[in-house]
Amino acid sequence: MKGCRAQEMRAALHTAFEAEIRDQMRALTAIVNKAPDARTFLDDVVAGLSQTPKRLPSKYFYDERGSRLFDEICTLEEYYLTRTELTIMQQFAEEIAEALGQGNMLVEYGSGSSLKTRILLDRLQCTVAYVPVDISGEHLEQTAGRLAKAYPHIEILPVCADFTTEFELPRSKCTPSQNLAYFPGSTIGNFKPKDARRLLQRIASVCGSGGGLLIGIDLQKAIQTIEAAYNDRNGVTMAFNRNLLHRINRELDADFRVDAFEHRAIYNEELGRVETYLISDRHQTVTVDGATFRFEVGEAICTEYSHKYTIDGFHAIAATAGFSLERAWSDDQELFAVLHFRLPAIRLNTHKQIDGSTRED
Ligand code: AVI
């Protein structure tokens, strides 16, 4: 009899659990899709190849294969960035969570596999919702599905978008006490300082009054360490860089001979950035959707910048968007830093009190 009741209860619990997961998965299918369309991709590629020197926007690296190759880069011996940031996040997890406060709506810019996010989601108190924003729809869907299972008490609201453009924040069921932008991985380094300022202003408008920003930046260091990270001996970064040409061939009816372009990444000390190139090893002509582009021997297409900062240098950039630095965490070798910024809380409805001071309504 007792065994029977237990069995019924187990079955009921199982059904309830399955229903919960089904609900979560249904919510996830409502991914807001604002990824750039084929027309925008073509326009950007044609515009970039028409410039002198030629350029291709690095945001197009991340199709399904590109995202997988980037995940592989993050595990490479030479690519110190990911493991160092992870170490900082793990070592200072409690302090970071305390600094970030409770009841956040956590918005992650370029969420990828959301590995570091788990450190936050495990510790932040009463997180209202997690909004991963990523340009790669397939990657986003898989990651969001996994997180929904692991954190059934947190609303997961994925947004498939190019976060450099305007996107609307999904509404959460509960009202957050503040929005907190999370921008790990030194992705901000992929923007020129002028564009980084503009992006930080957009982030500030998403965060709103009293909002926070937790951001990972790669620090300036010895050239050899930096260049090795972008020219790994196993050729994964080369495959990642060349994959952009494969993608253009496949999606934009182009005919790049991918193996006729060599990968090279050099550190420009004066501008504090790695510049990544694909260099034509011959005189050749490439067609993209009917438009023709000529390449000389040794002519380069610049595919990416990865800026390296000092904490003060980055603080100056973030300050132009209204952010002030609250805390900075770094590793023993000062390779990488995780910075916490806050926007001022705008006080509305202040009343003059009898004694002449002001108080918040
Ligand atoms: C995503 N981003 C921060 C990487 C970086 O380090 O600039 C992309 C990358 N490119 C080559 N390796 C990694």
Same domain for 241 and 97: no
pLDDT at position 77 is 98
Same domain for 136 and 59: yes
**CA distance linking residue 102 with residue 42, whole number of Å:** 43
In this prediction the pTM is: 0.87
HSE-up of residue 104 (Cα within 13 Å, Cβ side): 27
Average pLDDT of the residues in 272-283: 98
Same domain for 208 and 77: yes
235: region left, alpha or beta (phi > 0 left; psi from -120 to 50 alpha): left
What digits encode the pLDDT tens for the residues 232-245? 999 999 999 999 99
Q: From atom 7 of ligand 1, which residue's Cα is the shortest distance away?
A: 306
Same domain for 336 and 281: no
Peptide linkage before 53 cis (omega within 30 of 0)? yes
Same domain for 290 and 242: yes
Closest CA to 182 of 156, 213, 159, 154: 213
Q: From atom 1 of ligand 1, which residue's Cα is the shortest distance away?
A: 187
Same domain for 173 and 104: yes
Range(s) of the domain holding residue 84:
32-223+309-342
Strand segments (E) across the chain = 32-34, 54-55, 104-109, 129-134, 155-156, 159-161, 178-183, 212-218, 261-268, 273-280, 284-288, 291-295, 300-307, 324-330, 336-342, 350-352, 358-360
Q: From atom 5 of ligand 1, which residue's Cα is the shortest distance away?
A: 306
pLDDT over threshold 80, residue 347:
no
Same domain for 78 and 102: yes
CA 189 – ligand 1 centroid, Å: 8
Query: Angle 161-200-51 (CA atoms, 0-180°, nearest 5)?
Result: 70
pLDDT over threshold 50, residue 199:
yes
Query: 187, 191, 236: which to mutate for ligand 1, most atoms within 8 A of CB?
Result: 187
Same domain for 138 and 44: yes
Q: From atom 2 of ligand 1, which residue's Cα is the shortest distance away?
A: 187
CA 305 – ligand 1 centroid, Å: 9
CA 112 vs. chain centroid, Å, equals 7
Site residues for ligand 1, CB cut-off 6 Å: 73, 81, 185-187, 189-190, 230, 237, 304, 306
Structure tokens at 156: 């997961």
What digits encode the pLDDT tens for the residues 108-126? 998 777 778 999 999 999 9
| Assigned domain for 20 exists | no
CA 244 – ligand 1 centroid, Å: 14
pLDDT over threshold 60, residue 26:
no
Minimum mean pLDDT range among 188-197, 267-276, 342-351: 342-351
**CA distance linking residue 361 with residue 337, whole number of Å:** 38
Query: 59, 72, 73, 113: which to mutate for ligand 1, most atoms within 8 A of CB?
Result: 73
pLDDT at position 1 is 46
Domain total of the chain: 2
Query: 73, 306, 314: which to mutate for ligand 1, most atoms within 8 A of CB?
Result: 306
| Assigned domain for 8 exists | no
Q: From atom 3 of ligand 1, which residue's Cα is the shortest distance away?
A: 187
pLDDT over threshold 70, residue 353:
no
Same domain for 173 and 43: yes
pLDDT over threshold 70, residue 249:
yes
Query: 85, 109, 230, 233: which to mutate for ligand 1, most atoms within 8 A of CB?
Result: 230
CATH code of the domain in which 199 resides: 3.40.50.150
pLDDT at position 115 is 77
In this structure, the strands spanning 32-34 and 54-55 are unpaired
Q: Which residue is associated with the tokens 């030194």?
A: 186
CA 306 – ligand 1 centroid, Å: 7
pLDDT at position 29 is 42
Amino acid letter at 173? K
| Assigned domain for 212 exists | yes
| Assigned domain for 100 exists | yes
HSE-up of residue 233 (Cα within 13 Å, Cβ side): 2
Amino acid letter at 214? L
Same domain for 298 and 183: no
Q: Which atom of ligand 1 is nearest to the CA of 81?
A: 6
| Assigned domain for 203 exists | yes
| Assigned domain for 350 exists | no
Share of the chain above pLDDT 90, in %: 77
pLDDT over threshold 80, residue 348:
no
CA 195 vs. chain centroid, Å, equals 15
pLDDT over threshold 60, residue 13:
no
Same domain for 275 and 133: no
The DSSP secondary structure of 48-90, one letter per residue, reads HHHSSSEE--GGGG-SHHHHHHHHHHTT-SS-HHHHHHHHHHH
| Assigned domain for 82 exists | yes
**CA distance linking residue 190 with residue 188, whole number of Å:** 5
pLDDT over threshold 90, residue 135:
no
Neighbouring C-beta atoms of residue 23, cutoff 10 Å: 12
Per-residue pLDDT band at 360 (split at 50, 70, 90)? very low
Same domain for 206 and 185: yes
pLDDT over threshold 90, residue 17:
no
**CA distance linking residue 267 with residue 306, whole number of Å:** 9
Residue partners of 76: CB distance under 8 A and separation at least 6:
229, 232, 234, 236, 237
**CA distance linking residue 300 with residue 279, whole number of Å:** 4
**CA distance linking residue 197 with residue 151, whole number of Å:** 33
Task: Tell me which of 39 and 9 has the higher pLDDT.
Answer: 39
Enumerate long-range contacts of 167-171, CB under 8 Å, 24 or more apart: 167/32, 167/34, 167/133, 168/32, 169/105, 169/107, 169/131, 169/206, 170/32, 170/129, 170/131
CA 338 – ligand 1 centroid, Å: 16
pLDDT over threshold 70, residue 254:
yes
